Chain A
């Protein structure tokens, strides 16, 4: 199999995602995957730092503390540094979890192969951030930003499904199921926990 450069991988994710994910997982390009994933994460974090000020009020967490909008950059800076480590950890855990589910659904890929593909699936963050910034500069309506976010979200979901499908040799339906199962489990767990908490906390009679 002919090797691809990093730039060709990036191009491929946008225009030939199926072949690219297949290639990345076959060659288990984990280093590139981590590099792209952390780079994309840092880019998003830095864009947030640049545009953070108006989102926070000019007051401290409590009296005597510096105004939030003044330390927003610092806070996000700390968040970005810690966030990269956490995000990479999250990528590892997600790859392990999805690989486990994929295996249970009949997948035949490897965990490292899936990890190599998953890191590239978040690349649409770049065009989304650029579009958001342009929208802000041009003062486009909020609707534009919402639609852009929806497009970005759908794009990432499609890429995640393709990454799962090509890395684990699953059918499209099973890849969708592998992606959705953790979220469905989380949803069910949340509902069960909410019911249990409500049962414990609800008073025996009505009270006002």
Chain B
């Protein structure tokens, strides 16, 4: 009898410890959860080339689709428990309108009373800086590549190649500029002027956004915005970055700006990726498959339209 009691007790204690481990997991040392219950810092990743749409990169590769990111920003705005958001940027830039769309949503997030801190990883240049400039604070590593404030439009004239291949383009158009930028012929002087005007206009918008976001005089921003990249340390000296530090420094700063005491709870906003889909399929059954499959399917089209998007111009 004594033997059975001992073995039964051992099994009961093991079961109790298991339940306690699950129940206490958030209170154990080293776990987040030191702040007031429910108050958290949202984390939104902006990684890869910034593009329009919902794309997150083919097969999990890096691409920051503006639609996916603004949905995450809106979710963070609606969540009353999220008191601050860290934008983790690791991007060389990308499409100007996509960066603009994201930065508008960042502004709305701030207007809703949430603190926003931009944390720069390897790089947060051009469109990445456009977005970062809208945050309350910017934290960069000393060696982060940032800046590159400017606009570039690159077109390829393949007329000679087509000629060598024996291809001739026939164009029927409604107006003289409808095929402006066509790879089958060089730009005319007038077309160059039109495109230059567009680039200049987007550049002015970029300057304005940075000047307002960073609270810097427009002229100073113009001086810095000759398209060059800066290291995080140089950017701090020039006022383009507030603090030097890593991701966790940015989290701490966000928590402190939002008045969260202690180690903050972190809430990651991420759309399901193929990996996530796979993991959840195993852990939650087939029902997890349906909502996650769609974005992944859209990823397949990314490679097809990413190239023309970059060719047609962007804040890079």
Contact = CB atoms under 8 A, between A and B. Distances in A.
B293 interface: no
B10 A126 contact: yes
Contacts of B268: 58, 66-67, 70
A130 B283 contact: no
Contacts of A134: 17
Interface stretch (B93-101, B165-173, B269-277): B269-277
Given A7-B3, A62-B60, A133 B17 contact: yes
Q: Which of A47, A60, A136 has the most CB of B within 10 A?
A: A60
Nearest to A131: B17
B276 A71 contact: yes
Interface in B267-293: 268, 270, 272-273, 275-276, 279-280, 282-283
B275 A50 contact: no
Nearest to A6: B7
Range, interface on chain A: 35 or more
Range, interface on chain B: 35 or more
B29 A73 contact: no
Interface in A186-204: none
B312 to A, nearest CB: 24
- By secondary structure, the A interface counts as helix
A83 interface: no
Given A63-B57, A64-B63, A129-B14, A50 B22 contact: yes
B30 interface: yes
Interface of A: 5-12, 14-15, 43, 46-47, 50-51, 53-54, 58, 60-67, 70-71, 73-75, 77-78, 81, 126-127, 129-130, 133-134, 136-137, 139
Given A7-B7, A10-B7, 4 more contacts: A43-B14, A70-B268, A70-B270, A78-B282
Please give me the 5 A-B residue pairs with the lowest Cβ-Cβ distance, nearest first.
A50-B21, A63-B47, A11-B3, A7-B7, A10-B7
